[in-house]
Amino acid sequence: MTASGAGDVLRIGNASGFYGDRFDAVREMLTDGPLDVLTGDYLAELTMLILGRDRLKDPSLGYAKTFLKQLEESLGLAHERGVKIVANAGGLNPAGLADAVRALAERVGVPVKVAHVEGDDLLGRGWGPQVLTANAYLGGAGIAACLRAGADVVVTGRVTDAALVTGPAAAHFGWGPDDLDALAGAVVAGHVLECGTQATGGNYAFFAGHDARVLRRPGFPLAEIHADGTSVITKHEGTGGLVDVGTVTAQLLYETGGARYAGPDVTARLDTVRLEQQGPDRVRISGVRGEAPPPTLKVGLNRIGGWRNEVVFVLTGLDIEAKAQLVRDQLEDAFGKHRPAEVRWELARTERPDGDTEERASAYLRLVVRDSDPDKVGRAVSGAAIELALGSYPGFHVTAPPGKGAPYGVFDAEHVDAASVPHIAVLPDGRRCEIPPAALPADTEPFDPAADPAGEPAADPATEPAAALPEPLPDGPRRAAPLGLVAGARSGDKGGDANVGVWARTDDAWRWLAHELTVDRFRALLPETADLTVVRHVLPRLRALNFTVEGILGEGVAAQARFDPQGKALGEWLRSRYMDIPEVLL
């Protein structure tokens, strides 16, 4: 693989953080500045379920169709500029997508070599009749093999998000599986890039401190990667958004946990990461150390969990609690012997006294039901709700007509021996190249606590290096204020768990945060977590704490077990809570 960048720098950009991200990003990244490789991350736990349902309807599908449409207008641009394209848009059918890309290239007259990576699909291993998808998280070695064989476009199935960066970097710099520090540096860069504009000011806790015009349309990120694995995170000059230590820190904490970030290529030590602002919109990542990867691979399983329905009642004006209780009692009576297996009510008191619009005078009562029998969540619920329209609380109405219910998904994770998973690079000439698991030196021990090889570290602090806390901030006057005045946060989902990363922007704020935001204080601030297992990880070099909250999302995003089913706003809820904060920090 030959790079068009200067010297020994490989410029890898990102144009998609999820299936449905900004359509124009592929073209913009190709035209707004120089690149060597353009990546796209289209897969997530929920996406695999969506693609599984697509495949049930049409076995020739199962890939991200948007990717093809983006290539239709951009494949020629990439070829003219010598930019390689690497994307996991193949989903459940990377071979089918590769064929579709070849057909597209022929139709538009662009002579590109297409390769793909497969072997991750383990559906035939007897997981059970309800399982729709079963995919192992592969590393970047298959991508590297395709690029070394001259591929211009590489599409994959389920690889780790960071593999989209480790693969091209290994191909370009000639890294082998024993180049652990370099690979770990690429994993960290890949994790920063994988969610697109979250690294360039999107979803950023301190957005209010920046010009709104800058953040209105953030540019997508890119990494300038060096032969030793160090990198600079930046974006094309003149594009919107910003790149600073805060935006990079936020993304590093997103959907991670503790010091060890385990993956099939390498275990990256997040407690060794050093971030340095090199200039406007340039953050250098250095110092990353790598350890051996685990001997197992994560397998993500999506299955149909049952049927779900939802009704949202609008309660306006006076007597909100009494209105809510009346309709609850009426519905419970109506269910009778056909009560769904799970019935959940949530009252959101959004109304304001003396509201100056009807909506601002209203609260919402949400009913969610689940059952394995579709009839129990269908007409039995929607009919019962609508039949109350003229015989319930004053002002009765709902936000939308109740439906017949819909199936919901459940995500589970298993682990299998890495050697049992076929990792196949299908090269541009059709040859099939089997990629062995990382062959490490004999004296290298793989890191294998209860780690998640998809890039999720173990939740057991006993497996992590001890992290020294800073000296406490001296005592002084304090006052009650929102935590978010002195700390940023970002949160997200991994199956049924959520993580909440919290970081301080100054050394003094870190001295206070590290001692004050304990697990007990975290549970007190977020009462939903009071009865759940919460694990705190300390990352001093990032001035950060990362909390893993086990089970708060039930059986995963597709199950929609709670308001905010992906836990995206848990961090912002935490930042809104009041603590006694030293006045010197305020």
Q: What percent of the chain has pLDDT over 70?
A: 94
Q: Which helix (H) or strand (E) holds 573?
A: helix 570-576
Q: What angle do CA 293, 298, 302 make, to 5 degrees?
A: 165
Q: Which helix (H) or strand (E) holds 521?
A: helix 519-525
pLDDT in the model for residue 280: 96
Q: What percent of the chain has pLDDT over 90?
A: 85
- 529 contacts: CB under 8 Å, gap ≥ 6: 522, 523, 549, 552
Average pLDDT over residues 48-53: 92
Beta pairing partners, 492: 499
pLDDT in the model for residue 439: 61
- 432 contacts: CB under 8 Å, gap ≥ 6: 424, 425, 426
pLDDT in the model for residue 449: 39
Q: What is the pLDDT of residues 471-513, one digit of tens each?
A: 999 999 999 999 999 999 999 998 899 999 999 999 999 999 9
The amino acid that residue 297 corresponds to is: L
Q: What is the pLDDT of residues 432-471, one digit of tens each?
A: 999 999 865 555 555 553 444 334 434 344 466 778 899 9
Average pLDDT over residues 388-403: 93
- Cβ of 110: how many Cβ atoms within 10 Å? 18
CB 103 within 8 A of CB 68: no
pLDDT in the model for residue 390: 96
Average pLDDT over residues 192-214: 94
- 468 vs 515: CA distance, rounded Å: 11
CB 129 within 8 A of CB 123: no
pLDDT in the model for residue 445: 58
379: exposed, middle or buried (Cβ count in 10 Å: 0-12, 13-18, 19+): middle
Largest CA distance in the chain: 76
93 band by pLDDT with thresholds 50, 70 and 90: very high
Q: What is the pLDDT of residues 152-180, one digit of tens each?
A: 999 999 999 999 999 999 999 999 999 99
Mean of pLDDT over the chain: 93
CB 488 within 8 A of CB 517: no
456 φ/ψ angles, rounded to the nearest 5 degrees: -115, 120
Average pLDDT over residues 514-528: 97
pLDDT in the model for residue 457: 39
CB 218 within 8 A of CB 480: no
> What is the secondary structure of 85-101 as a DSSP string?
EEE-TTTT-HHHHHHHH
- 166 vs 293: CA distance, rounded Å: 14
CB 532 within 8 A of CB 549: yes
Q: Which residue has the higher pLDDT, 311 or 337?
A: 311
- 163 vs 157: CA distance, rounded Å: 11
Average pLDDT over residues 380-386: 90
User: How far from 516 is each of 297, 484, 527, CA to CA, in Å?
Assistant: 37, 14, 17
| Edge-first strand listing for the sheet containing 487-494 | 487-494, 497-504, 544-549, 534-539
E strand intervals along 282-441: 282-286, 289-291, 296-316, 342-348, 362-371, 397-398, 406-417, 424-426, 432-434
Q: What is the pLDDT of residues 269-294, one digit of tens each?
A: 999 999 999 999 999 999 999 999 99
pLDDT in the model for residue 444: 57
Average pLDDT over residues 525-534: 96
- Output the pTM of the full model: 0.92
Alpha-carbon Rg for the chain in angstroms: 25
pLDDT in the model for residue 403: 85
1 band by pLDDT with thresholds 50, 70 and 90: low
Task: Please give the distance of CA 491 from its chain centroid, rounded to a whole number.
Answer: 9
Taking the CA atoms of residue 399, residue 405, residue 406 and residue 410 in that order, the dihedral angle to the nearest 10 degrees is 90
Is the Cα torsion angle 550, 555, 557, 563 positive or negative in sign? negative
